[in-house]
Amino acid sequence: MAGNGIRCNVDRRFQWSAVIALAFALLSFVVLSAAVGRGKTNGFDEACRTGLNSIASPALTLVMQGVTTLGSQAALLGVSGFAVILLFLSRSWREGWLVVIAMAGAELLLAMLKLEFHRQRPEPFFGAIASTSYSFPSGHTMLSFCCYGLLAAVASARLRGRARWWVRIGAAVLVLMIGISRVYLGTHHATDVIAGYLVATVWLAALVAIAK
């Protein structure tokens, strides 16, 4: 009984932490989107774009193109779909459905936000193919955060010691690099990427907060 009480308290603290993260990320997104709408972030976006472009090299461009592919819709659907199959085969029904709901909801939320803000994309660099979708928020960033972040959480819950931290750190670095690659390749503004992180935080935190 005492062990159950401790676990309940930990779960409640975790859920309250999720609520706080949700509130902070949501407020930050509202402030950012308002600034973007008024054009107040143009200088920041241009500085980030120019700064990353100034360190460009053929080798770095090749790396960034590979990294950004890991955040593509096809890659993320493949990774999340494979993870769901493994989770269902291992009878981890709760985690499997959580991944399904998280990715499906993220896709829907992303489409709604892009239509709401209808921000035009910047001119891409290095022959990158310009997407026909709107720019704000970054889909690569938002969806990769939801996919790799959630899968890292599910995987690390089954690990112990340093292994769980390596999984979390690896996922965080990958998601960060995907965001940077979008600005480096010129396919997104820096504020698009930041918005993607914020919206993903809101969505994942909401799922954690309502989870039983």
What is the pLDDT at residue 137? 93
Alpha carbons 146 and 109: distance in angstroms, whole number? 12
Per domain, the residue ranges of the chain are 2-210
Give the CA count within 13 Å in the CB-facing half-sphere of 164. Answer: 9
What is the pLDDT at residue 65? 92
Question: pLDDT tens string for the chain (212 positions)?
Answer: 444 443 344 356 667 787 888 999 999 999 999 999 999 999 999 999 999 988 999 999 999 999 999 999 899 999 999 999 999 999 988 889 999 999 999 999 999 999 998 888 888 887 766 677 788 999 999 999 999 999 998 888 888 888 888 999 999 999 999 999 999 999 999 999 999 999 999 999 998 877 65
CATH 1.10.150 corresponds to the domain 2-210? no
What is the pLDDT at residue 157? 81
Asked if 32 contacts 193 with a C-beta cutoff of 8 angstroms, the reply is no
Alpha carbons 40 and 144: distance in angstroms, whole number? 27
Query: The whole model's pTM is what?
Result: 0.88
Alpha carbons 191 and 70: distance in angstroms, whole number? 20
Per-position DSSP letters for 129-144, written without gaps between them: PPPSS--SS-HHHHHH
Alpha carbons 3 and 191: distance in angstroms, whole number? 45
SS3 of 186, please?
coil
What is the pLDDT at residue 8? 40
What is the pLDDT at residue 134? 84
What is the pLDDT at residue 12? 64
What is the pLDDT at residue 60? 94
Asked if 171 contacts 149 with a C-beta cutoff of 8 angstroms, the reply is yes
If one counts every other C-beta atom within 10 angstroms of the C-beta of residue 157, the result is 10
